[in-house]
Amino acid sequence: MPGAVPQAPIPQPIPPRQYGTDGQPPGAFGSPGAIPYVSAQQPSVSTQKTFVDTGPIRVRRFPTALVAILIIAIIGILGFAAFKAGWLEAPLSNVQEFVSGIKLPQWLPIGPKDTTPPTIQNVSVSNITMTGAVITWQTDELSTSQVMICDPGGGCTWTELDENLVTNHSVSLSDLKSNTAYHFTATSTDAKENQALAEGDLTTSAQAGATTLTISEVKVSNITDLSTTISWVTDKPATSQIEYGTTDAYGSTTPLDQKLTTSHSATLSGLKPNTIYHFKVKSKDASGNEATSQDQTFTTRGTVSVAAEIGPEVGKLAPDFTLPTLDGKKVSLSEFRGKIVMINFWQDVQQSRNELPLIQGVYGKWPQDKLAIFAISWKQTPAVVQSVVNSKGLTLPILIDETGEVAEKYDVAHSPVTLFIDAQGIIKDRKDYPFKTEAQIESVLNSIP
């Protein structure tokens, strides 16, 4: 109609959206046959904008299964840590006791509680002394070691607990009383605090005393006017010493021989002729046990020796002397009364040097309890003497008369000179010339009664 105002078109109702099986409206963006659609709210003019409908907005959610796994893992770690720290020990122990009648897998921590103690066997006692002993035993499972020791009066003490878990046990006892019977209890506790006991008895050794060393076979031999030899036997290796004198108060003592032996011998010298002497022998073993014999007596001789004149000639009593050996030991002639004594005065000259090996040969043949041989070096230094000894291979006793004092007593003016003295101390023969053979020396020795 002319002059009529045009009317806007009346909007048509939009039919409801139809959704497919994929949750998208037909023709939605990204789906087959997708087409744009015009919003009902927009005017249908040339300025109208169009947009693509992408469907409903999706919300991103954290997977529920992963959350559950993390929670279970955290609870498990915390529970394991609490179990290792011992926080659950008491509760689990109660649970174990509650379910002790139920058979559960061994790997579960709430299984039946271990109430079986270790088994102790092979208990023994060794190394018993006056003050100690060692107790050993075995167990069928790893466990601790400890011993309770009780004396006859009922007093008990515990050794220090050895917390090392072992099956072979050894505990040392100390500070015990000698010759005492003790009762002991060996104990072992396993890792579950189950304890086992084993009892026994032991007796410590008696305290050593003088009666543990015995002296026997005391003998007196080689009695002369000035000396004698005393020997004895002990049942254990021990030292040697003699107390002696003209009364049972003694008053004189031989030097202590600290060599430990069972066969003992000592010589008394410087005695008086025709005199009664009292003596007792003493020995001490390595443990300090000492034994002493009963008082005994002997009488020195006083016939030939008293009447004889002292001098260097044959038929006279040989002058006594004391000289050192190369190693410094003092030797006196009177110590060898009762034996035949051969004395050879020598110097570093051809004749003396050639004679020494012959004397060495006789020394090696004759028993030393019957014959004593001394080669006396006079007016020579120990260094010279030692060189001769080394070159000749001598082992017989060498005495040093460096000043020549003893040689002068025997009227020795040249070398060699050899004297033969009987058991009474009387000079039986004298040779002022060197021997040529061992047989010549032995011929003289055999002639001395």
Fold assignment, 309-446: Glutaredoxin (3.40.30)
- Per-residue pLDDT, 41: 45
> Does the 120-203 domain belong in CATH 2.60.40.10?
yes
CATH superfamily of 210-304: Immunoglobulins (2.60.40.10)
pLDDT-based confidence at residue 157 (cuts at 50, 70, 90): very high
Write the DSSP symbol of residue 134: E
Please check the confidence at residue 348 and state whether its pLDDT lies above 90: no
Q: What is the mean pLDDT of residues 414-434?
A: 92
Give span(s): CATH 2.60.40.10, the chain: 120-203, 210-304
CA 93 to chain centre: 47
- Per-residue pLDDT, 304: 52
Identify whether the C-beta of residue 371 lies closer than 8 Å to the C-beta of residue 361.
no
Look up tokens 């075995």; give the residue.
138
pLDDT, mean over the chain: 82
Write the DSSP symbol of residue 285: B
- Per-residue pLDDT, 78: 75
Half-sphere exposure of 120 (CA within 13 A, CB side): 26
CA distance 185 to 146: 8
Q: Which helix (H) or strand (E) holds 203?
A: strand 195-203
Weakest-pLDDT range from 81-90, 95-104, 323-332: 95-104
CA distance 255 to 271: 16
Please check the confidence at residue 349 and state whether its pLDDT lies above 90: no
> Which residues, listed in sequence order, are joined to residue 383 by a DSSP beta bridge?
none
Weakest-pLDDT range from 69-73, 209-213, 272-276: 209-213
Please name the residues in contact with 251: beta carbons below 8 A apart, sequence gap of 6 or more.
245
pLDDT-based confidence at residue 51 (cuts at 50, 70, 90): very low
Distances (CA, A) of 88 to 196, 249, 301, 343: 26, 85, 100, 99
C-alpha angle 330-402-315 in degrees, rounded to nearest 5 = 70
Give the tokens for residue 239. 């030292």
**Residue, of 442 and 91, whose pLDDT is higher:** 442
Give span(s): CATH 3.40.30.10, the chain: 309-446
Model pLDDT for residues 94-115, shown as the tens digit of each residue: 666 655 555 555 555 555 667 8
In the chain, the percentage of residues whose pLDDT exceeds 70 is 76
Model pLDDT for residues 55-68, shown as the tens digit of each residue: 555 545 556 777 77
Give the tokens for residue 404. 């020549």
Please check the confidence at residue 43 and state whether its pLDDT lies above 90: no
**Residue, of 402 and 106, whose pLDDT is higher:** 402
**Residue, of 148 and 19, whose pLDDT is higher:** 148
- Per-residue pLDDT, 83: 62
Alpha helix positions (H), 229-287: none
